[in-house]
Structure 1
Amino acid sequence: MSKNFRVLAVSGQTIISICTVLAFFFALFIDFTSSPFGGYADQRFALVTLCGSLIVALTSMLFFQPPTNLKSAILHLVPSSLLCSAFLLLAAPFHSKLYAWAEPGMYICFFFSAILIGAWLSWTDASIKFAKFLSAAAAVFCVTYGLASVNVYLFAISDGVTNLVDYLPWGFVNIRYWNHIATWCLPLLPLAALIEPLNRHRLWQMLLLIGAAIWWWMLFLSAGRGSFLAIVFGVIVVVVVMGRKSFPWVNILLAHFLVGVLLWLLLSVALPSLMAGGVNVSSVKTDASGRLPLFIEAWRMSIQNFPLGMGPQSWLTHEILTDGYLNSKKFGHPHNMYLMWAAEYGWLLIACLGLVVAQAMRHFFKARLRLASARDSERLLMLTAITASVSSALFHAGGSAVFMAPASMLVGLFVLAAFWGLVIPGRDDGIYLIHRSSRRHIRGFIALTLALGLSTTWLLWMKDIWSYYEAMRIDEEHYFETVGEGILPRFWFHGNFPRQSAQ
C-alpha cells in the first residue's frame, strides 16, 4: 500500500468520523446552540451540508485514487444510483412547482452518501474501525443525554411539575423525533459494551448500563410503541439470520431493557407515588392513532398516476381524494415513508428501493457466511447490532417519518453507512483503493473537475433550499393568522408550505 493511498484513506476516514460526531451533536444537543433558525431548521441545514460535503470529498478522492477493480466497485453503487436517479427523474416533470427540488435533492444526497461512505470504508479497510467508532460515539452521546435527562427530571419533580410530557425527552420539538433516535441508537449500545478494548473497562460498562437504562425509561415515558415494536422486530430479524452468534448482543440488550424497567418503577411509579399530585406521563395507545385514513389517502394517491406518482410534496398540495382523510386530522406526511414515496414519486421508485434492499440482503448473507467461516466473532457482533438498528429503522419508517425528520436522518446516515461498510466486499475481494503511478496528473484533473462540478450543483441546490426557508418563514406568520391548523412538520418545522390553493 503506497504512502499516498494511506494519506488519502486516513483523510477520508477522519472526515467521516468528524461528520459522525457533528451529526450526533446536532441530533441530540442542538438546543445548546444559539442559532436564529431554530433546532429543526438547524438539523435540516446540517443534514444537507454534511451529505453534500461528503459526496464532494469522497467522490473526488475516489477518482483520484480509484479501486484496482473499478468496474466491480462501481457495480456496488448501481442500485443506489438507480434509486437516486429515480428521485431525480420522477421529480423532473414537476420542476415548475414551488421548491420542487428541495426534498428530491435531500433524498438523493442522503441515500447516495450513505452507500458512498460505506463503500469508501470497505475499500479502505476501515469498516471495522468505523463500526467501533460509531457505537462508541453513540454510547457517549446517549449516556451524556441520559444523565442530563435525569437531571431535568429531578429538577422538574422538585419544582412540583406533574406533567412530564413537555420535559422528557427534552431538546426535541416533538417526542416522536426523539423516538426515531432511540430506534437507531438503542440496538447500538450493547455493541459498545462488547467491542475491544472498551469491554475490559468496568466503569465504561457501568456508565453504559445506566445510560442505556435511562433511554429505555424515557422510551416508556414517551409511550413510543413504534420504537419498541421496531426494536423487537430488529431483534427477531438478527436472531433468525444470525442465530447463536447474536446471543451476546441480545443478552446485553435484554439487561439494558430490564434495568430500564427497574428505573421506570423507581422514577415513574415509586417516586411519583410519594408526591401529593402524582405525575402524569404519556399513555400507550392501542389504536392506529389516526394513521389509517392517512394510509388510505396515500394509497389512493399512489394509484392516481400509477406508477409515476403525483410529484414532490404533493401530499401538501393535492386535492384530497378520500372522505376519511378529509374529515381526519391533517399531518405534513402520511406517517408511512413507503406510501408517501409511492404517492409522490410512484411505485417505480419503490421498485428501485426494492433493488437496493435486495442488494443489501445479498451482500449481508455473503458477509455473514464469510465472517462465520473466518470465525470473526467481533465483526459478527458488529454486523448483528448494526443490522438490528437498520432493520428497526426500516420497520419504524412504515409508521413514522424516520426518513423525513432531520435528527433521525442525521444519525441514520452513518448507521446505514456502517452497515454498507460491513457488507460491501473490500480488500479481501480485490477491491480497494491503491495508488497508481501512471496518469496521475490526468486523474488529478478529473478529480478536481468533478469536485468543482459537484460543488457547484450542491451550492445551487442549497440556494434553492435557502429560498425555500425564507419563503417558509414569511408564510409562517400568514399561516398562523389565517389558516391556524397548527404545526405540520415536514421539510421545515412549518411544513405546510407550499399547500393547497384552497388554504
Structure 2
Amino acid sequence: MFAFRDINQGIATVLVSVLAGMSFVSVLFIDLIPTPFGGYAEQRFFLIFVLGLLVLMAVVQCADQADTLLFSFRIVAPTAFLCVGFIVVAFAYRAQSYAWVEPGMFALFFLAPFFTGYWVSQRGVEKTFAAALVYVCVAVCGLYGLASVNVYLFAISGGFTALSDVIPWGFVNVRYWSHIATWCLPLMPLAVLVGPFRHNRMLRLWVILTAGLWWWVLLLTMSRGSLLGISFGAVLSFLLLGRRAMPWLRVVLLSLALGLLFWLVLSILVPFFLAESVQVRGVSLDGSGRWPLFAEAWAMSVEQFPFGMGPQSWLTHEPLTEAYSMVGRLGHPHNMYLLWAAEYGWIVLCLLVVVICQAIIYFFRKRYELKRTGSSEELLMLSAFCASVAGAMFHAGASAVFLAPGSMLVGLFVLAVFWSLVIPNVRLGSCLAPRHIVGGNYRGLLFGVLAIGILMAWLFWVGETLEYFRDMLADLEIYSDVDKRPILPRFWFHGYFPRDS
C-alpha cells in the first residue's frame, strides 16, 4: 500500500508539472498552435480543463489525508469561504444568462492552487514541485526570448523602428504579455540557485540570457504595471527576508543590468545607425484613462452595498458616473479588486483579504522555521515566489491579472507552489478531532462522493461556458460587422456580450 501511494504521488507530481509546461507553451506560443477559435478562446478552454483536473487530482490525493484535512478547519476555511462567496452571489442572480460562468472560474481559480499546494506540502515534495515549475519557466520563456530576437532581426533588417508594435509577439495586447512577465521574472533566478542543476554553467548562461531578454522586452514596452509590480515584489521580499534573499536579488539585478544593455544596444543604438528615426516608448505618468473606470467600479460597489450588482454586471449595468458614460463601455475596470467589489460585493472582497492575511501569517511562520533550521535553499524559494505573488497582486490593482486566461494559466501554478511552501505540515495531534472518528472506509466513501460532486459541478459549468461561447460567436457577427466596434476582451475575447440591445 505504501509503495502504491508513493507511485501515485509521483505520477501526480509529474502530471502537474506536465500541465504547467503545457500551460506555459499555450500562453507564450499560441500563435504557432493551430487554434480554430483563436488563441484567447483556446487559452480559456484550456484553463477550464486545467482547473477541473487540478481540483479533482487534489481531492484524490488528499483522500488518505482526510483526518488532517477535515479537521484542520482553520487551514481550509478561508479559501473555502471565499469560493463559496462567489457561488452564493451568483445564486442570487441565477435567473440571468451565464450567471455561473465567471463565478465558477474565480471559485475554482482560488480553490485549485490552494488544494494542490496543500497536498504537495503534506507529501513533502514542495521543493521538487517548485524546482520543476522554475525549470519549465526558464525553458519556455528562454525559447520565447530567442524567438523575440528573431522577430527583432526581421523588423530591424526591414528598417522598422517601432519595435514595440511587433515585440512582444504572440499577444493581442502588450498588457497580456506584461502579466506573464510579472509572474515569471522573479522566478527565473531560482534556476541557478536551487535544484539539481544549479551549478551547471550552461544553465546559468541560459537563465541570465533569458531573464536579460525578458527585461529588454519589458523596458522596450515600458509596461508600468509590470515594472511597478516586480519592483514592489522584490523590495517586499528583501524587506521580509533580508540578507537571506541577497543571492536571489543579486541575480535579479544582474539580469536587469543585462536587460538594460540589450535595451541600449538593440532598441537605441542599432536602430539609430540603421534608420533615420528611432521610436522609443516612454513611461506615461497619467492614469491611461483608468480613473473614470475606477470611479465607476467604486460607485457600483456601493450601489448595492455590500453584495455587489451581480456577475458580469459591469458589462450590462447603466453607467452610474458621468465620466464613465463619456468613456464608453469597456470589458473591465482595469482593477481586479474594484471589479470583484462591484460585481460580488465587499463581503467577497473581505473574504479575499482574510485569505491574504492567512497567507501572510503562514509566510512569517515558515520564515521563522526556515531561519531556525538554516534551510537556505527553501528561503531562496520563498523569496522568489513571495516576490512573484506579491508583484502579481500589486499589478492586479491596475490590470486584469486574474481575468486574462494567459495570466491565470501561469499564475495558477505559481500560486500552487507558493501555497505548498507556506502551508504548515499538519500533524494529527493538532487536529480538532481524533483519528478514529473518520474510519478508512468512510474516508474513501466521503472523498469518492466529493469527487463525483465536483466532477458533476465542473461538467455543469463547462456546459454553461459552451452555451456562452456559442452565443458570443453569434453576437460577434453583429457587434463587429454591423456596429463596427473594437473587441473588448472579458471572459471571451468578444467581451461586450451580453449586450443591452
**TM-score normalised per structure 2:** 0.95
For the 8 Å contact 1:67–1:431, the answer to whether it is kept is: no
CA distance in 2, matches of 1:363, 1:12: 25
Corresponding residue SS for 2:274: coil
Q: Partner amino acid for 1:377? A: S
Instruction: Report the equivalent of 2:317.
Output: 318
Instruction: Report the equivalent of 1:143.
Output: 142
Structure 1 residue 429: deviation in Å?
A: 8.4
Structure 1 residue 328: deviation in Å?
A: 1.9
CA distance in 1, matches of 2:325, 2:292: 9
Structure 1 residue 100: deviation in Å?
A: 1.1
Instruction: Report the equivalent of 1:207.
Output: 206
For the 8 Å contact 2:183–2:391, the answer to whether it is kept is: yes
For the 8 Å contact 2:68–2:428, the answer to whether it is kept is: no
For the 8 Å contact 2:58–2:115, the answer to whether it is kept is: yes
Corresponding residue SS for 1:216: helix
For the 8 Å contact 1:223–1:283, the answer to whether it is kept is: yes
Instruction: Report the equivalent of 1:133.
Output: 132
For the 8 Å contact 1:396–1:402, the answer to whether it is kept is: yes
1:94 equivalent in alignment to 2:96: no
Structure 1 residue 55: deviation in Å?
A: 0.8
After superposition, the Cα gap between the structure-2 partners of 1:431 and 1:14, relative to the gap in structure 1 and judged at 3 Å, is farther
Instruction: Report the equivalent of 2:258.
Output: 259
Provide, for residues 333-355 of structure 1, a one-character-per-residue CA deviation record: whole Å limited to 9, x for no partner.
00000000000000000110011
Corresponding residue SS for 1:469: helix
Structure 1 residue 428: deviation in Å?
A: 7.5
Corresponding residue SS for 1:77: helix
Q: Partner amino acid for 1:348? A: I
For residues 186-201 of structure 1, what are the structure 2 equivalents within 5 Å?
186-201=185-200
Structure 1 residue 24: deviation in Å?
A: 0.8
Instruction: Report the equivalent of 1:43.
Output: 43
Structure 1 residue 290: deviation in Å?
A: 0.4
CA distance in 1, matches of 2:69, 2:447: 15
| Of 20-29 and 72-81, the range deviating more from structure 2 | 72-81
Q: Partner amino acid for 1:14? A: V
CA distance in 1, matches of 2:427, 2:251: 31
CA distance in 2, matches of 1:386, 1:422: 9
Provide, for residues 336-375 of structure 1, a one-character-per-residue CA deviation record: whole Å limited to 9, x for no partner.
0000000000000011001100100110000000000000
Provide, for residues 260-296 of structure 1, a one-character-per-residue CA deviation record: whole Å limited to 9, x for no partner.
0000000001100012333434332110000000000
Structure 1 residue 12: deviation in Å?
A: 2.3
Instruction: Report the equivalent of 2:363.
Output: 364
Q: Partner amino acid for 2:52? A: G
Q: Partner amino acid for 1:134? A: L
CA distance in 2, matches of 1:393, 1:356: 15
Query: Greater RCO between the two (CA within 8 Å, min separation 6)?
Result: 1
1:33 equivalent in alignment to 2:33: yes
For the 8 Å contact 1:161–1:279, the answer to whether it is kept is: no
1:387 equivalent in alignment to 2:357: no
For residues 10-409 of structure 1, what are the structure 2 equivalents within 5 Å?
10-63=10-63, 65-328=64-327, 330-409=329-408
Q: Partner amino acid for 1:306? A: F
Structure 1 residue 441: deviation in Å?
A: 4.8
Q: Partner amino acid for 1:175? A: V
Provide, for residues 116-165 of structure 1, a one-character-per-residue CA deviation record: whole Å limited to 9, x for no partner.
11101101111111111111111111111101110111011112323223
For the 8 Å contact 2:68–2:427, the answer to whether it is kept is: no
For residues 407-426 of structure 1, what are the structure 2 equivalents within 5 Å?
407-426=406-425
For the 8 Å contact 1:61–1:447, the answer to whether it is kept is: no
Structure 1 residue 109: deviation in Å?
A: 0.8
Structure 1 residue 230: deviation in Å?
A: 0.6
Unaligned runs of 5+ in 1: none
For the 8 Å contact 1:79–1:352, the answer to whether it is kept is: yes
Instruction: Report the equivalent of 2:486.
Output: 486
Q: Partner amino acid for 1:131? A: A
For the 8 Å contact 2:301–2:342, the answer to whether it is kept is: yes
CA distance in 2, matches of 1:375, 1:430: 26
For the 8 Å contact 2:54–2:112, the answer to whether it is kept is: yes
| Of 54-63 and 1-10, the range deviating more from structure 2 | 1-10
Structure 1 residue 442: deviation in Å?
A: 4.5
| Of 27-36 and 176-185, the range deviating more from structure 2 | 27-36
CA distance in 2, matches of 1:145, 1:439: 51
After superposition, the Cα gap between the structure-2 partners of 1:159 and 1:419, relative to the gap in structure 1 and judged at 3 Å, is same
Instruction: Report the equivalent of 1:451.
Output: 451
Q: Partner amino acid for 1:13? A: T
Corresponding residue SS for 2:327: coil
Q: Partner amino acid for 2:217? A: M
| Of 477-486 and 278-287, the range deviating more from structure 2 | 278-287
Corresponding residue SS for 1:76: helix
For the 8 Å contact 2:159–2:275, the answer to whether it is kept is: no
CA distance in 2, matches of 1:200, 1:469: 48
Q: Partner amino acid for 1:31? A: D
After superposition, the Cα gap between the structure-2 partners of 1:84 and 1:70, relative to the gap in structure 1 and judged at 3 Å, is closer
For the 8 Å contact 2:61–2:119, the answer to whether it is kept is: no
CA distance in 2, matches of 1:49, 1:224: 30
CA distance in 1, matches of 2:82, 2:474: 34
Identity over aligned pairs, percent: 45
For the 8 Å contact 1:67–1:73, the answer to whether it is kept is: no
Provide, for residues 402-435 of structure 1, a one-character-per-residue CA deviation record: whole Å limited to 9, x for no partner.
0000000000001111110000012788789xx9
CA distance in 2, matches of 1:428, 1:448: 23
| Of 321-330 and 464-473, the range deviating more from structure 2 | 321-330
**TM-score normalised per structure 1:** 0.95
After superposition, the Cα gap between the structure-2 partners of 1:195 and 1:61, relative to the gap in structure 1 and judged at 3 Å, is closer
Q: Partner amino acid for 1:178? A: W
CA distance in 2, matches of 1:390, 1:88: 25
Q: Partner amino acid for 2:175? A: R
For the 8 Å contact 2:69–2:76, the answer to whether it is kept is: no
For residues 454-469 of structure 1, what are the structure 2 equivalents within 5 Å?
454-469=454-469
